[in-house]
Every structure is written in C-alpha cells, then in structure tokens.
Structure 1
C-alpha cells in the first residue's frame, strides 16, 4: 500500500480485484483503485471511514491537495476513501483506447453494461471487507451520481452502512428516462433566462457565434467539430455556481478580426474544446442515460431519451431562434447521438453506445420496499431548482426513504459540496447525527 504525505494529511493507495460481473465471482476480474486520506497527527485507526462516491457517471475520484475543500471538514471526524469507480482514473480504464481489446461493438456494449451503480456498490463492498472486515459498517457521502449510487447501496446492502450523506443526488426511484428529460428541459430554460438576464449582451453575441457555426462548422484544436448543437451543449456549465460567469467570459472572447474579417479566436476554440471534450470522462457520455435504465420502470430501455424528448421543446431549436429575434438557448446535462460524431474521443465508441441505447434489459437499481423500511440514518442536501437533478423527484424519493432528513436550500447550486468550503458537509453531518 504506497503512502505519501501532503500538507496536513497522510495519503495511502489501495487496489482490489473485483469481478467484472458480480453474479459470476469466478469469472473475469478488473481492478478498482481507491485513495485513503487521513489527517496527519491523528490515530486514523480509531476514526470511522467515510467512503466518497463521485458524481458522474464516469468521473474519477477527487485528487486531494492536503486539507482542502470539503475533505478538510471530513478529516475532523473521519478517514476518507476516494474511489475511482470502475472504468475511471487508476481503476481498469474503459475508453476508446482500451475497449477495442474487448472485441466488436456488441462485446464492448456487453462489457460496459456492467459499469452502472449496482456494480459500483458491489465493488465498494469488496473494498469495505478488505479494509474493515466483514461486519464493520462505514459512512457514505454521495455527490450527484454518487448519491444515486448511495441510494442503490441502501437498497442492496444497508447492513454495510452506518450513515449516508447525499448532496444533489436523490434519484427518481420510478422515473423513466423520458420523464427525466421532460423535467430537465424547463429547468435548463430557466437557467438560460437567468443567464441572459444577468448578461443581456450575450444574447446577440451567442446569436452571432451560432450563425457563424451554422454557416461554417469549425474544427476545434483537438479535431472535434464545433456545430451549433455542440456550441449549445456548453450550457452544461449553467448548473454550477460560477457557470454563468464562466460562460459569459467565454462568449465575450469569441471573436477576433483578421484579414478575412471576424473569425472565432484560437483562445475561444481552445477553451470550448476543454469544456466539450469527453476525453477525460468518456463513460459519462456512454453510460449517462443507462444510469436511468430499470426494466420494471421502462421495459423499452433508454433509447436516446434526451434526443427524443428535445423535439417537445422547440425553444431549444437554434435555427428557429436565428430565424426570429429571440435568444439561442443552451442545453444542459443531456447526451445525444451526434456527440459520437463530433467528438474524437467518443467516435470509436459510437456503435457500442448505440447498442447500449437499444438495450432493453437493465436490472433495477433501487428497491422501494426496502427503502421504505430503511433503518440507516440518512441526510440529504436538495438544491432548489437544481439543473441536473429534478427537485420534485428528489423530494418524492426523500419521502420514500424511511427516516431520511432533507435540507432544501437555494444558497448553493449543484456543486455546493465542492464550493462551500466544508459548510454543506458540516450541515449534513450535524443533520444525520440529530444535532439539527
């Protein structure tokens, strides 16, 4: 177990072998990596464990820099385990470079079907038994998709949990993929209205950029293609605390004037590429809609639900906006099949992604009956009008999990855990302990 020191912390690496398919424990195994962070000078052996489940899907665990952010608050009471969920970070990777070794698109899709929350929870159980033993439970903190995983954990292995903390991640237990996006597009539209109210000059600037891209799609430095639809996808950032401001600064830097007139600047295209490329987290795109798949809820699978539902919201039609006088609306957390044509990191996975979209047999991720009889203390932060997770779904789920306590707030956006300097985590800890 390699260990090293950072300011105020001792960091130890852990690796475990887990079955690719936990229903076949004697079959193929993959590796899962986790990083333990403990406060320097404390006897970490006496502290309870806090497992952190990252948002996503497909994002690696945080890379700590000493006692910073929410980790600083957590280290007052816990030793923290930061997991690279299967397929990400230092765990056995799954991306355009590794997946061809699995075989054709059908083989790749079958492999990736094992990378959802149910498998992640069972991986965590292997880690828990390795680090704590069979009978000792641990605490779990789930952010966004990590909260979805935490609810799966409560459904499948509540005996392993001493307490659960969730931020921006209470999923709809019986919500279809189409329902997710029918609720999402109006929230995204409200975030657009707020952005343009804050930065009214962006209305014309965004129209100018979109018009240029409609006439001439532009190659990004990394080889991707910037089309109007891809440009609209920058709205993903509107659900974070500083996203609207970041988007404004990006838009205001869009043009330079050269011999041929106004063109999109290199700096703009470079920054756009950083926001749009899925090179660092391809599983986010490949598995995003699969995180909502449950056969008992929607027997027909996911089927590119965001793309299907988008047609019900004509306000997001860029061509119609340009033909009129209104603003071009950005989209949000939605994955579309055209992304597998414009992003070089996704293009080799297009056929596998299509097969996953067509897949009809997705095991259920939640057990409503078991949740209704829950005995584990649970506290959840629900962010009012969260762009990424529907507040109504979250509150319905909160009512469905016995004993769950909620904190509903509009003080923070979806990234409240990260930007609050430990305040969100502190409130959840006090809430789950009954101190509030």
Structure 2
C-alpha cells in the first residue's frame, strides 16, 4: 500500500464560533495495485471508527475490509477531533483551556455534529465528489448525523454495529444493553463453567487483598469487571478464558494475582489511550436533556452487576463516576466529567424529518446479540431512515468486521449499490 498524511486547520466551532481553529489529521491509504495516476481517479471512502475517543486505525498492511475497499476506493482514515494527531485531548492538554467550566465548554464541540462538519470541510478541501462513508459502531452514529445534516456530501453510507437511537433518554440504551450483557455472561459461563468460580475467586481476593496494576493504581472489583469487554467479541470472547485461567500464582504471602494477569487487565481497564471515551460516552446519547450518569442509575435495576454481590457479572461499555476516581488517567478530569453529565441543553444529533426523507443509498449490518448497540433499538432506527437496507445476522458480534470484514464490507456495498442501479 501507499499512504499520505493530511493535516487540516478547521474551526473549533463550525456553528458560529469566534474563529478559533483546531488541527484535524487524516491518513490516506491506497492499494499498490493501482498506479499513482489510476489512484488519483479513484473515488474516496471515508472511514469513521468506533469510540467515541478512539483515533483512526493505523494499518501495517491492507487486510479485511480495508483490502476489499482499496480495490475500488482511496481510503481516508480520520483521527476524529480530540484523538490521535487531531488536537488530542487528555489530562495533560485539557487544562490549557482554562478552568473546569472552560474545559467543559470546549468539549461540547467534540460530538458527532462537529465530526461531520469536519468531514465535509475536508471533502471540499480535497475537491472530492460526494463520497462513500463507512461507519463502525460510534462511526455509524456519526454516519446517521451525516445523513441528517450533510446528505449532499454522501454518495452512499455503510454502517456496521452502529445504528443509534434517534431520541432519548440515555436510560433506555442502558436498560437494553444491561440485559444483553447479562445474557452474554450466561452464555459465556455456560461454555466455561469453571470461569464462574474463577471470577468469584478473583472478586473475593480483591475485596480482601490490595492488588495494584503496573501503573500503581489499585485493581478493584468494579475495575476487574471491565474485562467483560471481551464478551462483545465473536472469536475474541475466548481470550477471556485465557486471561482467567492463569490469574493466580503462589507466593511466600499466599496466592496473589500474577504480573502477567495484572498487565493484561491494565491494558483493558485503563483509559489512558482514549480518555475521551469516558468523558464523552454518555453525551453521545444526550439530546436536549442531561444524561446524569445514566448507566449508574440503571445499574440499580440490575443488582447482579454490583461489585459487592458474591457472584458479580462482568460489565460492558458502561461508564460510571468511579472511573474518574480509580483511573489515574481520568482522575484529574472528574470535575469536567461531572459538568458534562449535568449539561441539559445538548443540541440534537439527528434530524428525524430529514432521515424520514433520506435519498442517500444506505445499508447497515445489525448484529442480533450485540451487547453494545442493542438490536431492537437498531431496528427501530433503521425503520425511521427511508431506504436504509438492513442485514441482520447472528453470525457476528460487535466486532464482526475484525472477523470477516472483507465479506461484510462487500455485502453492504452491494446492498447500497443495488439501490442506485
């Protein structure tokens, strides 16, 4: 493959700001099968990754969906604002904005509506015709915003595991996903019944014995429960068993958690690499009302996930206030997170009337057992978008494109193209 790096100076506030700009980075990927002259004539595909708060993928080589896409497209991989090389936000950079209120106001400009405005500015700067957008997970949420506010910039839209509810409150999202995660726990422990006791043993141990991750922070039961992120995978779910099977080692002080286990858990529970995920996560469901720690509120209806019960279930994507107490990368950001949770005047992220009149060819994969983006809510949204074709499948979980991205991409592209034939 060949790559090219692009930097763009774009408005912080596309909707009436004072002229302040931020830097937005994107990397272009082109298959070496195309000559430079032929590649220059290829149409663009913009990939919007999951998140919020994750930088664009860094490909060591084209493979899976990107290999399939590169046959017919130039791929533009966007570092969404605040991530990667796009004016990154973390505990070190955010204080440059001023006090906590100033920081919270700054972060208001880092949701899907601003990401879409960035994309349109970039498309025009590149001189590109309406392009194809491929959105995975949160990238699919952004694609729905694109269809709402800038459909003239779109040739077609492909979405995998990313059909967001078009209205609130955030509570309905977590009511659905808590049920999905509970069912996935039951399925997993049915495959590996010995792991039910392994999880219980680790939880008991953490209540009685201080254990610390390599970054020096304490591993609590609630942080350990975050290894449930493996449950959202198709083949990746089995890696959870491999993590648990060698958790303990014998020491002069009795059984302790191994360094290998603690290092693997650190990589799963730390938000040092993507602090925006924790800061902005509930805001992606905020439309005119405060989210106010919706996941914590809904947790009260699902006590089986509480860390103090004898056999706690493993958790999913939910974000809780204690993240900002126990994670060193997030602790300095706790006051800002609280201000964002209390914000009650979020702008709409979607335009239901325009979506009901949509004329852009669009296709979406909905995963029947997705623990992150609920199937029922996804189908509700799909029915509200005119012309959106849905492929529902139980063959994959949320990260389906990591397992068979080439086939999934090809199927969705064919579905979208059939609408314009």
Task: Give the TM-score range, shorter chain.
Answer: over 0.9
Unaligned 5+ runs, structure 1: 1-8
Match of 1:63 among 58, 64, 67: 58
| Partner SS, residue 192 of structure 1 | helix
Match of 1:188 among 181, 190, 194: 181
Unaligned 5+ runs, structure 2: none
Match of 2:125 among 107, 130, 142: 130
Match of 1:404 among 366, 382, 388: 388
Contact 1:203 1:328 in 2 (8 A): no
Q: Determine the structure 2 residue equivalent to 1:302.
A: 291
Pair 1:93-2:82 in alignment: no
Match of 2:364 among 369, 380, 388: 380
Pair 1:76-2:62 in alignment: no
Match of 2:334 among 325, 350, 353: 350
The TM-score with structure 2 as length reference comes to: 0.97
| Partner SS, residue 77 of structure 2 | strand
| Partner SS, residue 167 of structure 2 | coil
Residue 70 of structure 1: how far off its partner (Å): 1.1
- Taking the TM superposition and a 5 Å limit, the aligned residue runs for 1:355-434 are 355-434=339-418
Residue 268 of structure 1: how far off its partner (Å): 0.7
Distance in structure 2 (CA, Å) of the matches to 1:65 and 1:219: 33
- Taking the TM superposition and a 5 Å limit, the aligned residue runs for 1:214-293 are 214-293=207-286
Residue 223 of structure 1: how far off its partner (Å): 2.1
Residue 132 of structure 1: how far off its partner (Å): 2.1
Q: Return structure 1 stretches of 4+ with deviation > 6 angstroms.
A: none
Match of 1:148 among 141, 144, 163: 141
Residue 318 of structure 1: how far off its partner (Å): 3.4
| Partner SS, residue 392 of structure 2 | strand
The TM-score with structure 1 as length reference comes to: 0.94
Cα RMSD after superposing both structures:
1.3
Residue 319 of structure 1: how far off its partner (Å): 2.3
Distance in structure 1 (CA, Å) of the matches to 2:217 and 2:134: 36
Pair 1:44-2:33 in alignment: no
Q: Determine the structure 1 residue equivalent to 2:113.
A: 118
Contact 1:52 1:82 in 2 (8 A): yes
- Taking the TM superposition and a 5 Å limit, the aligned residue runs for 1:198-217 are 198-217=191-210
Pair 1:333-2:317 in alignment: yes
Residue 151 of structure 1: how far off its partner (Å): 0.2
